[in-house]
Chain A
């Protein structure tokens, strides 16, 4: 058991667990599993109601695909910067990690900002939470996704600030890894939303 721990490259201070895996990492994956059901239910609601709006605006009249493509690209690239941040701390390069963490948080903020702009634009064109089923399901689904991204940005910013105070070292790469898992998951949900909500023809 000790051998497996060391082979996995964790610090000696970590005590043995039954599987040799870290408690918090197991927790994070279990949590992401449950989030699949959360977003799955919201997406299911959207899909079930896609044709049911009795009045407009309808999706095809509302979406600006080029615009959303750009913001999707931004979020995808933020996953790259996130994994580069992790790679940096695993090489004990705290400064480089900080750069990539900041980049990730920045890209995430750009994404959320882009969503806010997109939403206000939709509202100006007459689509609100209560207008019809499209407004209801769209804003609630993407709103909760955006809230998850925002929490991620807060998390990354906290990590960044903590690293400035010298609190993140190579041994703490797990914390960055866990933040990364959450961040990638939020990105992957958007991959689904972009296709299922914006691109799929109904």
Chain B
């Protein structure tokens, strides 16, 4: 029998405890931080969605007059940047936070204060980036910011690009801090007996994603630093007049950018890999293969970046090499899809909303993957690149893939977090409406691309043959918006009035379902000892259970069945947990002020003075205070 071991830092036994909103602001609890991430990400998702609706309104008919060309450039730039960095990634991180410690039988992540820090840095970075709308203009050179369009000679009317460069660097710190945390947590804080090959697939994909994050973001950071130095300090990194190669930006950006798209998809794949077995009442087919495919994708992700640059003039040798590597990476991806289908085959399918979104993921992501293979052939890509064909592809994989996967996760884990069920009828309405709207919006874009419609044009003349699908796409976009409203209504009303979920509403397989919903502060009354994959299922049904009860359910210590009579017993448990802390918040604020302050009072195109504005100075001092306070705070044992 396991003793109450701790896989997280212990603190002094007499915790200060805050109430109400302060308990959220100073929290270091992974479950609360996960909720903060999730809510903030959804807000940014709505902002990015509004940007999309404005784009689609402008493109609904030829010669649109809804927004100016300049505003249009800002809209598509911010839509992409917001969706990727402020919505999809943080929503994945929300799940890393809420779910991974529960799945590995831990009480919290390895570094709870670092966890809080990464959330606040994310929030401040997102605010800084969006504040550009208020301070002269948002970035306008695409989410990929190619030099030298982003260099001063071509982009000096506003500080938009400076906001972009600084904002992304701040967000990079947040992403990396989180990734380091989850990496160490998964490697080092698993419950006894939880080998790598017994971890849930979602935790596996979190691990791979964390490695991708910590190795890819430094490359982006260097690119951003070089661009920032060019704009603020007069360096020549991308200045052709000095002999530089603007192409270097593209290499650095896509060396980050391609691993980034796997960072975006792997967590959603992990969710699907957990949802399908639960709703088929069968183990994941080919678990080791699915896990290793994820790892293979993580490695191969580094070898394909220049498929974003086929039209940049790299030459036939480079194009061929990257074409081959790109086609190769489709193999582990396809393997996963076959394993998912085999998981469903012969299962006792339970068509609830999480499963619907997981099925939607498989179908939509496959379509996106097929258009991806079409793009992997340079001769074809030369016609497809920078057309709406690519827009179709990327939305099928990122929306039809990632977003559908994330919604599956929301419906799946909502009961665990809130203790209540989301309404199933509204869930189904949300799914079908979104599926229809999504395909209306992006399906026709394949045709638009084939018919030659370029990307990033603020309007188009009539008579090009583009009118019909643009109109349909806009209808689809508003359909998506309607489905999102259905989701929001369902979400908020379920939080308050949803049916009580109990601990294990889905008859789940993994450890998070073995504890109460919502989980107590300390997660597990006793750290479980793991003997098999799908440990909770095995505990309930024994062996490689296929859903037939072979014995009476055996209580897991601290688990679901324990709580009916055990709740009162556990209430007196005094399991020490990390203290709340305000230093992560202070350090995060310092970082944002230090970098954001570089732009205060600075006309665009001018080199900042040294020392920079007082805002930056205050920021650096605040950062030091935060860091020192954090380092010297009472006993954080490992």
Residues of A within 8 A of B (CB): 1, 13-19, 21-24, 26-27, 30-31, 33-35, 37-38, 41-42, 45, 48-49, 52-55, 129-130, 132-133, 135-137, 140, 144, 158
Contact = CB atoms under 8 A, between A and B. Distances in A.
Interface stretch (B57-65, B84-92, B232-240, B362-370): B232-240
Interface in B248-290: 248, 252, 255
B298 to A, nearest CB: 14
B222 A49 contact: no
A183 B9 CA distance: 25
28 contacts: A13-B637, A15-B5, A15-B7, A17-B188, A18-B188, A19-B188, A21-B188, A23-B9, A27-B111, A30-B183, A30-B214, A33-B215, A34-B218, A37-B218, A45-B222, A49-B248, A53-B243, A54-B243, A129-B234, A130-B233, A130-B235, A130-B236, A132-B242, A136-B229, A137-B237, A140-B235, A140-B237, A158-B631
A50 to B, nearest CB: 11
B184 A42 contact: no
Given A27-B180, A129-B235, A130-B234, A18 B229 contact: no
Given A13-B637, A17-B189, A27-B180, A34 B235 contact: no
Main secondary structure of the interface of B (DSSP, over half): helix
Given A17-B7, A54-B243, A130-B233, 20 more contacts: A15-B5, A16-B5, A16-B7, A18-B7, A18-B188, A19-B187, A19-B188, A21-B188, A23-B9, A33-B214, A34-B176, A34-B180, A37-B219, A54-B242, A129-B233, A130-B234, A136-B235, A136-B237, A136-B242, A140-B235
B481 to A, nearest CB: 39
Contacts of B214: 30-31, 33-34
B342 interface: no
Q: Which of the listed residues A23, A33, A34, A144 has the most CB atoms from chain B within 10 Å of its own CB?
A: A23
Contacts of B190: 18
A30 B218 CA distance: 13
B192 A1 contact: yes
Contacts of B216: 37
B569 interface: no
A15 B10 contact: yes
Closest 4 CB pairs of A and B: A41-B222, A38-B218, A130-B234, A37-B218
A38 B368 CA distance: 32
B607 to A, nearest CB: 10
Interface in B148-190: 176, 180, 183-184, 187-190
A119 B233 CA distance: 16
B189 A18 contact: yes
A37 B184 contact: no
B115 interface: no
A136 B236 contact: yes
Contacts of A135: 236
Contacts, number: 121
B26 to A, nearest CB: 22
A41 B219 contact: yes
A133 B176 contact: no
Contacts of A52: 243-245
A15 B637 contact: yes
Contacts of A41: 218-219, 222-223, 252, 255
Contacts of B40: none
Interface in B23-64: none
Interface in B203-242: 214-219, 221-223, 225-226, 229, 233-237, 242
Nearest to A27: B184
The secondary-structure label for the interface of chain A is helix
A129 B218 contact: no
A23 B215 contact: no
B132 to A, nearest CB: 25
A162 to B, nearest CB: 8
Contacts of B188: 17-19, 21, 23, 26
A14 B244 contact: no
Contact of B111 (A15, A23, A45, A133): A23
B609 interface: no
Interface in B109-168: 110-111
Residue with the highest number of chain A CB atoms closer than 10 Å, among B183, B242, B245: B242
B6 interface: yes
Interface string B611-638: 0000000000000000010010000011
A48 B246 CA distance: 12
Nearest to B236: A136
A45 B219 contact: no
A15 B242 contact: no
A119 to B, nearest CB: 14
A147 to B, nearest CB: 11
Nearest to A38: B218
